[in-house]
Structure 1
Amino acid sequence: MRSASRHRQKGVSFIGFVLIALLAIAVFAIGGQSLPIALEYQAAKKAAQKAANEGNTMPEVRAIFDRAAQIDDIKTITGADLEISKINERVVVEFEYERSLPLVGPAYLVYRFTYQTK
């Protein structure tokens, strides 16, 4: 009769807690390393848009982008990596690049970024 009156315990076991904690740590670690990559991409988009709006020639566009990249600490892409064209007398700036984030052993998380000004 004793077991019938006992209430069943609810909750997470120690092993379950450890697994949840490891998963949370992994998510925060990857997210913490991914945030600067995402911020750099946003800064590169802003610099490309500024260069497209203010520049008329290829060297001007590249120089404007490089100045903005120096201010915003963009290291992955430079003005030389931009593809610049004119469509209907408007300057269009495009870029494409990859950043990888080492995870564990031979595993990497690869980000591929592509942008074209409007």
Structure 2
Amino acid sequence: MTSMPRRGRRRSFNLRLLGGALLLGLALLLQGLWPGGQDAGYNPQLAETLRLIDQGGPFPYHQDGTTFYNREGLLPSRPRGYYREYTVDTPGLSHRGPRRVVTGGDPPEVFYYTQDHYQSFVELERSHE
């Protein structure tokens, strides 16, 4: 009995490429940069920003603590000046990057996190001591 040749193209993938993609995804997840990463584990840069907000600074960027205008309309509507924004550093970048904490109230009573420069927000649950 002879084997008939297969018709059509055989699909294959590059194992090295797949392995590299998996390693990159793991590295991003561990740094808190993967979508949903803030829920997947500890984010030291976010924790540092929250610590600075709690102690009132000093903040590393002059824009930190300035009014956030909610132009995107993704947060609840509040009077101008209610929201303030703060930078969350992104490892490996030489600029502010896309990550921010936006607080509401004075003193802050609500905290939001965006990892995509205001395209989406997650409300942060903060334990009250």
TM-score, scaled to structure 1: 0.41
Higher strand share: 1
TM-score, scaled to structure 2: 0.38
Higher helix share: 1
Structure showing greater Rg: 1
